[in-house]
A = this chain, B = another copy of it.
Amino acid sequence: MSSSGVPAVTGRRLSQDERRRQLIGIGLEILATKPIHALSTDEVAARAGISRGLLFHYFPTKQDYHAAIVRAAARRLLSASQAARDVPAAEQLTSIVAAYAGFIDRHLDPYVAFFHGGPGADPQIRAIYDEVRDALTDRALAAAGAEATPVARTVVRGWWALVESMAVDRAGESGVPEGDLVAYAVQALPGLLAAAVGLGG
């Protein structure tokens, strides 16, 4: 568990890309454990076997470093939350929700730390959250075969919030089996969308 996949033979000279990857990997490890304000640049530098100064060469600000880490976590979440290949159109949505819920189930603590964690007031991080929600919303709308009107998007974003809430609850305490949760969520969406067609605007 020394340092995130990359062996980090201390003393070697890494390429920009290797170093960035290593530093982000270390950040992913640490931020899964403690909040940002408890992550010190000293610790990161020590784990990476480099000087404090070098960290700021790669990420001019601690906020930038934090944003890069969250962005990496977001990429993982999005790439995990795709429909399995060779899935018939009718089961696309189920496949996506199952993948998403499974991801939360497998990585509950880090998930909560990353996506309910960072300073919500930081615009960089807020933007990343929005991108994730938008991407998931696009996928769900496409899989559900629904038109992407503004109202429909709002509803689907809300529905994702519901799914996330229940998935986190489930992984935490409630005894609902994952399969049931997925089926419930998929079954609930059409009704929510249908009832929204008359909504203002």
Q: Which residues of A contact B (CB under 8 A)?
A: 34-38, 112-113, 116-122, 150-151, 154-155, 157-166, 169-170, 174-177, 180-181, 184, 187-188, 191-192, 195-196, 198-201
Interface pair B174/A201, CB less than 8 Å apart? yes
Residues of B contacting A163 with CB < 8 Å? 158
Q: Nearest CB to that of A117 among chain B residues?
A: B120
Residues on B with beta carbons closer than 8 Å to the beta carbon of A117 = 119-121
Give chain B residues whose Cβ lies under 8 Å from the Cβ of A159.
162
Tell me which residues across on chain B come within 8 A of A120, comparing CB atoms: 35, 112-113, 116-118
The contact sample of 5 A-B pairs, CB cut-off 8 A, is A112-B121, A154-B165, A161-B162, A161-B164, A176-B199
Contact partners of A191 in chain B: CB under 8 A: 188, 191
Partner of A184, one of B164, B180, B196: B196
